[in-house]
Amino acid sequence: MKVKSCLPLLLLATLLFFFLGAGLYAAPEKEERIVYLIKMSGVINPASADYIEKSIEKGEADRVRSLVIQLDTPGGLDLSMRSIVKAMLNSSIPIIVYVAPPGARSASAGVFITVASHIAAMAPGTNIGAAHPVAVGGGNMSDDMKKKVENDAVAYGRGIAMKRNRNAEWVEKAVRESVSITAQEAVELQVIELVASDLDTLLREVNGREVEIRSGKMTLELSEAKVVHLERGWRNEILNAISDPNIAYILLLVGLAGLYFELSTPGAILPGVIGAISLILAFFGLQTLPVNYAGVLLILLAVILFIAEVKIVSHGLLTVAGIISMTLGAIMLFDSPNPYLRISWDVLIPSVVFTALFFSTVVGLAIKARIAKPVTGVEGMAGLIGVARTPIAPRGKVFVRGEYWDALSDQEIQEGEQIKVLSVEGLKVKVERVSNVS
């Protein structure tokens, strides 16, 4: 009887447990949506390309919903730009380029990067354009070469724009005529998709849009996505700093100064090590910049002239020539019409002045050391005052600088009289009476 009365309770408990368990397994935790964000500000160079490419690779490996590149660039190197665009066009995750914050720009190489994105957006108060190619690598391009480079850039830009269904005609005008437009104009001309005031607004606006990635079409699911900022690593920060023309120029000067110290004082070791490291870093920076090698040769000539001043007394003429050569070399070192690929006057003038003062001081000390009277060894004894310890007629003994010396004199000198050393002849000194010295 008791068993029968318990059966309904057992049945109820079993059903309750079943439905509760079914509810738990039927509603698993919602998958977290991740969006990676990188901030690309400054010149497009090999370090920038490495930063963006590594971020795309990490996003693909982590299967994030999208990678947002917040862009603010005046342009940069063609090879670095093409490397970035290639990685973007072959990406398996959606890439959003967001020209921001207000006041930012996407110029020159930045135009191609923006157009290559799956979704292009800009903040209010930004602009895009001015993509005309310029000569990099030293020297002026001939008319035929300019035309070839321009046509190549146009074809490249149009191909990217057509793949992303953007305004290829405007991209061509940006290359040929260097036109530039505002964010709102870019939307109207179908260069970008939208204008967004901030990142949250951008993610809300693009949520649900369809894009085509390497594997096919996909719908963006970015609502309530968690934004993770991928910082530059220390390695990339160093590479980016070295690629700055001002830093590369300073490293070049430090390297040359270090080698000068090592050659002038062999065995010092530390100046040579610092100089060698600085030169290697400088050469890395120079290979990523539009270097005019006439400028490099003028800087090397300046150092040679400074060293020659130490060896050949020219009364400052070689030093002046070295200063002029270094100034001209610094001005010519980076041959580019773009200010961000040239040495700043704020760096150039102090560095030239400091280098000139440094070598002028070294030259002055070397000249003084050359003309100064010796103060050690037998050469330094000439002019010293001593005392005759025996009569000198014409030979005798004198006491000079704490030592007894055999002495010769053309005069008769009495014991105890002060004498002056005229010269040293072997192990003997030639002296004269101090009273006869004018």
Give the number of residues written for the chain: 438
Among residues 80, 91, 106, 108, the one annotated as catalytic is 108
Angle at 227 between CA 225 and CA 228, to 5 degrees: 140
Token pair belonging to 425: 């002849």
Spatial CA neighbour of 292 closest among 325, 330, 333, 328: 333
Question: Would you call 117 a catalytic residue per the annotation?
Answer: no
> 347 near 246, Cβ under 8 Å?
yes
DSSP string of 414-434, one letter each residue: -TT-EEEEEEEETTEEEEEEG
For residues 130 and 124, give the distance between their C-alpha atoms in angstroms, rounded to a whole number.
18
CA distance 434 to 228: 89
How far is residue 238's CA from residue 232's CA, in Å, rounded to a whole number?
10
Widest pairwise Cα distance in the chain: 154
Residue 106: which H helix or E strand, with range? strand 105-107
Pairing, β 226-229 against β 216-219: unpaired
CA distance 422 to 438: 13
Q: Render 205-244 in DSSP notation, one character per residue.
A: HHTT-EEEETTEEEE---TTPEEEE-PPPHHHHHHHHHTS
217 belongs to the catalytic site: no
Among candidate residues 148, 163, 226, 311, the one labeled active-site is 148
DSSP-assigned states of every residue in 107-119: ETHHHHHHHTSSE
Q: Identify whether the C-beta of residue 285 lies closer than 8 Å to the C-beta of residue 45.
A: no
Neighbours of 394 (CB within 10 A): 12
Catalytically annotated residues: 108, 148
